[in-house]
């Protein structure tokens, strides 16, 4: 199994063009299953989750073409063989495979899928999705490692759903479903993250009527005659945060281009309180300087527009270099502190109080060690820790990282990092 080998101590300097967001790519690509017409996507990142999803579409019989050099993907889901969904091993590799449920159920009336895989960052059960479909009148059965769902529009139980939590993927799944049926559905306590908004705007472009985008109440009137078209993915704010933290920690100077600042305001607030030197420019962010960092009393993750859980581990690494004691309060997932155990191997001083709260004491010099990725964002955090740590760091289980970071080591090396991929 491959790993990253990093020699710490090099400042990162240069420019980074931020690609399309992973969290937008997956639901938007799944929206192509709602129509028989061609869908063309621009600004698509070349990451393993996208490749796996496209391979799954190909197995089902969709016409798939991609040119990652130009970041373009074309999908025509004209004739599909749904039996491939339950027999495919690809669905087990990624959490996002559950997003095929909504569009295929709307289009065909019944679907059977494999239990999805992905990162283990907490109790992300399928209950929020399935309860919502059941509330609308769907019949659901779970047998072994598969989920079967059928829906008869004549037995529409309710035309509304109140989610038990503001789940991003459940919101996207139900929005995809509602856009493809001839009725109006109200979704309450919906997620409002930018990638959810981008998915809803795509559904509008395809012909669905969607109101309440960016709020916690979506009203969707769907149609069986959704069209194809051309769609552009929004930039990946989590990548912006990753490179920004890397620039600050290595005392470098990075200009990040293709940035949507609106989704990063809570992150910028944390950087400002810590003392990171950054300048917000038009569609760009510059991070630089030799500043000293100060601990902050608490960082608390929350649903959008609160501080994003996907940046919690990255900022956690930054807090190890801040003077004083900081508290992290992870409100969304109960297994996102695995990286702190790995940071301890590198010399960090941390105290995990419970699955949702941890203290970090700094500044503490980090040193090289053999560490591993426990999930996508934790893996990226360990790479960033390796960039600032003295000596050699080896980060294993990098398959998690490659699910969401396009050519991560190549991009970091181009910016001055001493990092290489080693095949065992």
Catalytically annotated residues: 119
Answer whether 96's CB lies under 8 Å from 113's CB.
no
**Maximum distance among all alpha carbons in the chain?**
66
Answer whether 44's CB lies under 8 Å from 53's CB.
no
Answer whether 174's CB lies under 8 Å from 186's CB.
no
Cis previous bond, 296, omega within 30: no
Answer whether 419's CB lies under 8 Å from 412's CB.
yes
H or E element that contains 16: strand 13-17
Give the Cα separation of 180 and 107 in Å (integer). 6
Tokens 């899928």, residue?
Answer: 113
SS3 state at 261: helix
SS3 state at 56: helix
Give the Cα separation of 228 and 225 in Å (integer). 10
Distance in Å from the first CA to the final CA of the chain: 5
Distances in Å between the alpha carbon of 151 and those of 27, 101, 107, 110? 21, 11, 10, 6
Give the Cα separation of 190 and 206 in Å (integer). 21
Answer whether 96's CB lies under 8 Å from 25's CB.
no
DSSP H stretches of helix in 61-155: 83-87, 101-108, 127-135
Give the Cα separation of 47 and 400 in Å (integer). 10
The β-bridge relationship of strands 72-76 and 229-232 is unpaired
Q: Which positions ≥6 away from 195 have C-beta within 8 Å?
A: 21, 23, 24, 27, 168, 234
The β-bridge relationship of strands 160-162 and 184-188 is parallel
| Burial zone of 119 (CB within 10 Å; 0-12 exposed, 13-18 middle, 19+ buried) | buried
């Amino acid at each position: 199994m491959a790993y990253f080998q990093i020699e710490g101590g090099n400042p990162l300097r240069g420019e980074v063009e931020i690609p399309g967001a992973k969290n937008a790519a997956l639901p938007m690509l799944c929206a192509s299953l709602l129509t028989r017409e061609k869908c063309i996507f621009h600004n698509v990142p070349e990451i393993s989750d996208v490749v796996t999803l496209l391979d799954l579409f190909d197995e089902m019989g969709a016409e798939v073409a991609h040119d990652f050099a130009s970041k373009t993907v074309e999908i025509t889901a004209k004739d599909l063989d749904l039996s491939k969904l339950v027999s495919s091993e690809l669905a087990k590799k990624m959490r996002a495979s559950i997003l095929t449920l909504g569009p295929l159920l709307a289009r065909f009336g019944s679907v059977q899928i494999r239990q999805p895989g992905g990162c283990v960052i907490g109790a992300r059960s399928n209950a929020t999705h399935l309860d919502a479909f059941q509330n609308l009148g769907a019949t659901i059965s779970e047998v072994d490692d598969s989920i079967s769902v059928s829906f008869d529009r004549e037995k529409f139980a309710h035309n509304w759903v109140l989610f038990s939590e503001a789940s991003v993927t459940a919101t996207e799944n139900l929005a995809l479903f509602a856009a493809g049926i001839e009725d109006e559905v109200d979704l309450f306590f919906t997620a409002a993250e930018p990638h959810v908004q981008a998915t809803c705007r795509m559904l509008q472009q395809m012909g669905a009527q969607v109101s309440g985008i960016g709020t916690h109440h979506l009203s969707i009137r769907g149609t069986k005659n959704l069209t194809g078209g051309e769609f552009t993915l929004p930039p990946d704010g989590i990548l912006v945060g990753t490179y920004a933290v890397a620039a600050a920690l290595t005392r470098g100077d990075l200009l990040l281009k293709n940035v949507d600042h609106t989704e990063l305001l809570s992150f910028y607030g944390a950087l400002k309180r810590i003392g990171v030197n950054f300048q917000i420019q038009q569609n760009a962010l510059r991070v630089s300087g030799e500043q000293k960092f100060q601990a902050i009393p608490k960082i608390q993750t929350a649903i959008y527009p609160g501080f994003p859980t996907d940046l919690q581990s990255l900022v956690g690494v930054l807090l190890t270099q801040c003077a004083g004691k900081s508290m992290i309060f992870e409100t969304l997932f109960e297994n996102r502190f695995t990286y702190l155990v790995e940071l301890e191997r590198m010399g960090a001083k941390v105290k995990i109080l419970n699955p949702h709260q941890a203290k970090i004491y700094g500044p503490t010099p980090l040193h090289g060690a053999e560490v591993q990725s426990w999930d996508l964002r934790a893996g990226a955090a360990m790479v960033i820790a390796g960039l600032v740590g003295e000596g050699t760091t080896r980060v294993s289980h990098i398959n998690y990282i490659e699910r969401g970071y396009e050519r991560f080591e190549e991009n970091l090396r181009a910016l001055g990092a001493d990092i290489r991929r080693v095949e065992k």
